[in-house]
Structure 1
Amino acid sequence: MRIAIIGGGYVGLVSGACFAEFGVEVAVYEADPTKRQMLLEGQIPIYEPGLDKLVAGNAAAGRLTFPVKLQDAIERAEAIFIAVGTPTRRGDGHADLTYVFAAVEQVLKVLDHPAVIVTKSTVPVGTGRKILEMVRELRPDLAVEVASNPEFLREGSAITDFMRPDRVVVGAESDRAREVLRQLYRPLYLLETPIVFTGLETAELIKYAANGFLAMKITFINEMADLCEKVGADVNDVARGIGLDGRIGKKFLHAGPGFGGSCFPKDTLALMRIAEEAGAPSRLVQSVVAVNDARKEGLAARVVAACGGDVQHKVIAVLGLAFKPETDDMRESPALPLIRGLVSRGARIQAFDPEAIQTARPLLPESVVLTESSAEALTGADALVLITEWNEFRVLAPARLKELMRGNVVVDFRNVYDPAPLRAAGFSYASIGRPET
């Protein structure tokens, strides 16, 4: 079987490499010449654990290629996946479908055989129907079907999520489209992975509903953390106590600085707009967006309070910049409003992240010093702020912190440290939703 993927970014490249691992012949077309050249030279333009080896292995086997021309990419392809970006549109919060429709139009102009066009990008409800209209208008001479196959990949765990997913969702309304997708996912069917076949609109909404619900769980436990701080409870125990209920589940109940990344902020905002336009406004999603935005904007004030009310001229070591571990993605990272807020209050920032230094640099104030190690960031610091829970930060011992730091303030926005040893070593320790003593 041969397929084409339009877009060599995070979703397209991961999906392409994983499909190739299934034994499928995959052509990934990346329009950006710089990124395409990187891929042709064996370089990966994004960071995802294990992706470099997966791409290299399948490229060497001839199953994964990166054609220069779109026409070469879609030649003989039974399915053509659209995996381009759908960023938030300026001004109204809707998903910007400019790249999606442009990609579909370009494909239809050069397509010379029957095929199934599949949206892999996260697209608003009704997008598949609009693509069908484009097909009828631009290529009435070809038997072109349209399907929706939303991705559910977590950055840092994307390969595992693709290879062993909880489910595969396929929105298709013709026997041919369903059969092509069924054959493509046959290796997962043999593993008894649930494959959910629905209509186009249903598949598109499933993606937004899933991300909206998970974002709501994060926001809920963050609000419970705020309540715990007021009443002297421990949010870690609260999360465990409710997470053991099978109806709730333990995942996404980790209190922290608020969600970020490429999916949750964009998708909750888009879902809110979709619901408003449909005449069924989602007040829960509206609250999730507002609460999460306010939480991230309030991080700097928490650090200032932990530092005694003033950070003027103080050196703050910020450990972690990416929105989560095992990625270099800075999109909507809580580190951004945190650092900007501290800089505006006169703090001097020394920051380190194992992977996100290059992606972070253009997004941060020029005064921020980006270091080459956590030790360098901690040297001479008056306070440590942990914002991303990379494993290497978890093992920093109190003795090592005392050796490197000038001050004694630790603000742990991920609740990864045991308060007792830090306080015994003379540190003033603040975390999220846990008793101060």
Structure 2
Amino acid sequence: MQIVMIGTGYVGLVSGACFADFGHHVTCVDKDESKIDALLNGRIPIFEPGLDALVESNVAAGRLNFTLDLASVLPEADAVFIAVGTPSRRGDGHADLSYVYAAAEEMAPLLREGAVVVDKSTVPVGTGDEVETIIRKVCPELKFSVASNPEFLREGAAIDDFKRPDRVVIGVNDAHAEEVLQEIYRPLTRNDSPILTMSRRAAELTKYAANAFLATKISFINEIADLCEEVGADVRDVARGIGTDSRIGSRFLQPGPGYGGSCFPKDTLALLKTGQNYGSPLKIVEAVVAVNDQRKSAMGAKVIEALGGDVAGKTVALLGLTFKANTDDMRDSPAIEIAQALQDAGITVRAYDPEGMETSKAVISNLVYCDDSYDAMTGADAAVIVTEWDAFRALDLGKAKELLNRPLLVDLRNLYSRTDVEKQGFEYVAVGR
């Protein structure tokens, strides 16, 4: 299959490289000249484990290409995937679809007969209808299809998720689109990965419903963690007790400083807006968003309380800046609000993250960036684990104690055993324990 991927961000680049690895011929197109220049010179503009090698091997095999010129490749495409950003729109939280619609307008006069246009971006219900209308206005006689194929990729594990998915969701309104997408994903049938075919609108809603449900599990266990602290229970025991129930499952039941990233924050807001537009308010999702917003600010207060409340002039080592491990993504990271709360209280923040320090500079001001975990802890009054990087799971606590002004570890990811930490002479503050 000849595939064009519009957008070389996280979804577009990972999807394009994986499709090429399936044996398809893929050209990734972007308007950002710096991105295309980097990719043409073998530089990957995002951090995702294994992506650099995957891109390199498929470029070398001649199956993966990059260009700024959509017109040079689109007329030969069997399928055109739209993988552009849909950020939250300022003011109302709805998904900003301007990039999706601009892509539809640009591709319309270039599509060949029988082409399938596929929304890979996360888009609200009815977006496929509007994309079809935009193209139809330009090419009223053209035979083409518009489909929805939402992604379910976890940052840090995206390649494995793409190649060994729990399921592939295909939203189509005609047999031709289904046939083309089934052929594109045919290599996955060897792994017995289920391909779920449904209407286009159902597929669009499935993506939002999935992310909202996972966000609900996170906010739920965070509230249970707060209750555990009040009643003297350990949230890890409670999480095991409910997670072993097959109706619930253990994933996304790890308490922490709240969810962030490119999906959950914007997708829950967009789903709320869709519910409002259709007169079907989503009260549970509203509560999830409110709990998560409060959670992030509460974590800054938790650190200040652990320090004794009178914190002006103190220093904190912030270990982790990205919203999760194995990514350089700072979007809606809990570290942003935590750092701001500490700075507002007069605390100097020394920070280290294995991959996120460059991206953090655009969103967090006045941090002291350090070379490693121990550099960050030098002269600090507390060490605070914000992100669950492997580099923070086995710290040399003896060395850390020598470097810190006060042996205080605030573990917002519950990476350590209280007994082990306190044996080293530390004060230990965790979440829900």
TM-score, normalised with respect to structure 2: 0.99
In structure 2, the residue matched to 1:311 is 311
Counterpart Cα distance in 1 of 2:176 and 2:62: 27
2:400 equivalent to 1:413: no
Residue identity in the other structure for 2:317: A
In structure 1, the residue matched to 2:430 is 431
Q: CA RMSD in A?
A: 0.9
2:41 equivalent to 1:41: yes
How far off is 1:190 after superposition?
2.6
**Residue deviations 1:35-55 (CA, integer Å, cap 9, x gap):** 111111110000000000000
Counterpart Cα distance in 2 of 1:426 and 1:185: 55
How far off is 1:297 after superposition?
1.3
Residue identity in the other structure for 2:379: G
In structure 2, the residue matched to 1:71 is 71
Structure 2: gaps (5+ residues): none
In structure 1, the residue matched to 2:372 is 373
How far off is 1:67 after superposition?
2.1
In structure 1, the residue matched to 2:20 is 20
Counterpart Cα distance in 2 of 1:32 and 1:321: 26
Classify the secondary structure of the residue corresponding to 1:202: helix
Residue identity in the other structure for 1:429: Y
Counterpart Cα distance in 1 of 2:12 and 2:68: 16
Residue identity in the other structure for 2:406: G
Classify the secondary structure of the residue corresponding to 2:16: helix
Aligned length: 433
Residue identity in the other structure for 1:108: A
Residue identity in the other structure for 1:187: P
**Residue deviations 1:111-153 (CA, integer Å, cap 9, x gap):** 2443000000000000011111112211113111100000000
In structure 1, the residue matched to 2:108 is 108
Structure 1 segment 183-194 matched on structure 2, within 5 A: 183-194=183-194
In structure 1, the residue matched to 2:401 is 402
Query: Contact 1:135–1:144 at 8 Å: present in 2 too?
Result: no
In structure 2, the residue matched to 1:123 is 123
Counterpart Cα distance in 2 of 1:165 and 1:314: 47
How far off is 1:424 after superposition?
2.3
**Residue deviations 1:364-398 (CA, integer Å, cap 9, x gap):** 122x1011211110111110000001001110132
2:279 equivalent to 1:288: no
In structure 2, the residue matched to 1:80 is 80
Classify the secondary structure of the residue corresponding to 1:58: helix
Classify the secondary structure of the residue corresponding to 1:237: helix
In structure 2, the residue matched to 1:359 is 359
Query: Contact 1:122–1:207 at 8 Å: present in 2 too?
Result: yes
In structure 1, the residue matched to 2:163 is 163
Residue identity in the other structure for 1:30: D
**Residue deviations 1:286-322 (CA, integer Å, cap 9, x gap):** 0000000011011111001000112211110000000
Query: Contact 2:77–2:112 at 8 Å: present in 1 too?
Result: no
How far off is 1:6 after superposition?
0.2
Classify the secondary structure of the residue corresponding to 1:66: strand
Query: Contact 2:48–2:327 at 8 Å: present in 1 too?
Result: yes
Query: Contact 2:148–2:170 at 8 Å: present in 1 too?
Result: yes
2:275 equivalent to 1:247: no
**Residue deviations 1:252-292 (CA, integer Å, cap 9, x gap):** 00000000000000101111111111111010000000000
Residue identity in the other structure for 2:420: P
Query: Contact 1:115–1:144 at 8 Å: present in 2 too?
Result: yes
Query: Contact 2:171–2:198 at 8 Å: present in 1 too?
Result: yes
Query: Contact 2:28–2:65 at 8 Å: present in 1 too?
Result: yes
Counterpart Cα distance in 1 of 2:230 and 2:394: 29
Residue identity in the other structure for 1:279: G
In structure 1, the residue matched to 2:385 is 386
In structure 2, the residue matched to 1:89 is 89
